[in-house]
Structure 1
Amino acid sequence: MTSISGDVTASIFHDRNRLKSVLDHQSFQSVVFTNGCFDVLHRGHAAYLAQARALGDCLVVGLNSDASVRALKGADRPIHTWEDRAWLLACLRFVDFVVFFNEATPIETLQVLRPSIHCKGGDYQPADLPEKPTIDSFGGRIEILPFLGGHSTTNILRKGGRIQV
């Protein structure tokens, strides 16, 4: 799979330890991490990811596996496979790396990567995040970024008649 600018698969990692090795060999001052399902990529996702990238000089997107998306969103999800979702994310110019995780939360990935900043969307409160103790343990910080109104995967799927909510 290639994009106009070349092979994006080099920025997609199945192994968080391999990505950590790559990050350690780069000269990034501030690594930003966010995570999600990104099942039906839309403008709201892109705006959020651009905001996250603006906080540092490297953006890593943790991507839920197909099994974890099903557990979180229901049996009819994901719409797109892990590989397709990763490829689409990697094609965005403000996403530097994509890393898969199978767990319900990105805690294990955060423990390995130890980003400077962990971003979440505007519907979260830092104190309520299960990953907060992990971020605190290595001196990282949590940033809550606002959503771009009117854009959500649920609304897109509802509009298309795919799901009933």
Structure 2
Amino acid sequence: MVPMIPDEVIDLVNQTRAAGGSIAFTNGVFDLVHPGHVRYLRKAAAEGDLLIVGLNGDTSVRSIKGLGRPVVPAAERAEVLEALASVDAVVIFEEPTPEELIAQLQPDVLVKGADWMADQIVGRATVEARGGRVVRVEIEQG
């Protein structure tokens, strides 16, 4: 299944690139957003001119975390993330990983938490193949 990227996100990406800017991408569940998430997203935003967050949809979260999750539905999690000054756009995806979303967006910078081993970061090969970089940032538990 290929994630649907809203036209306004594609427009943002194209405008940013046309202006010589860089696209940063990160992803996660972001269920029950806490200050550690906010700080992580600020760090991610500092890596590019535009930050796009790939948000695991409800089906994706259940497949990863089991029944009873997410606590907060995807539309509400997206609304909270979009309200943060550091986040420029949110794209919900239902696949287990953001691999296809990363392939479509072709970000210049892929940001993940330092708890991820560098060789296990999904999308790393895609980003590095086009000259982009992967940044691992420290995370704070919430």
TM-align CA RMSD: 1.5
1:129 to partner: Cα distance: 2.0
Please give the per-residue CA displacement for 1:54-87, whole angstroms capped at 9, x wherever unaligned.
Answer: 1111110000010000111110100001100000
Instruction: From 9, 12, 16, give the equivalent of 1:22.
Output: 12
Separation of aligned partners in 1, 2:124 and 2:43: 20
Q: Normalising by the residue count of structure 2, what TM-score does the alignment of the two structures yield?
A: 0.89
Q: Which runs of 5+ in 2 are unaligned?
A: none
The 1:28–1:95 alpha-carbon spacing in structure 2 relative to 1, beyond 3 Å, is farther
- State yes or no: 1:93 paired with 2:85: yes
CA pair 66-117 structure 1, distance change in 2 beyond 3 A: same
Per-residue CA shift, 1:13-63, capped at 9, x if unaligned? x83262224311333511110000001100010000000111111110000
2:121 aligned residue (115, 123, 129): 129
Distance, in Å, in 1 between the alignment partners of 2:122 and 2:47 is 22
SS at match of 2:136: strand
State the TM-score, normalized to the length of structure 1: 0.78
For residues 24 and 89 of structure 1, the distance between their equivalents in structure 2, rounded to whole angstroms, comes to: 22
Out of 90, 107, 123, the residue aligned to residue 115 of structure 1 is 107
Partner of 1:73: 65
Seq. identity, %: 37
Query: Counterpart amino acid of 1:93?
Result: A
In the alignment, structure 1 segments of 5+ residues that lack a partner are 1-13, 153-165
Whole-Å separation in 2 of the counterparts to 1:124 and 1:104: 16
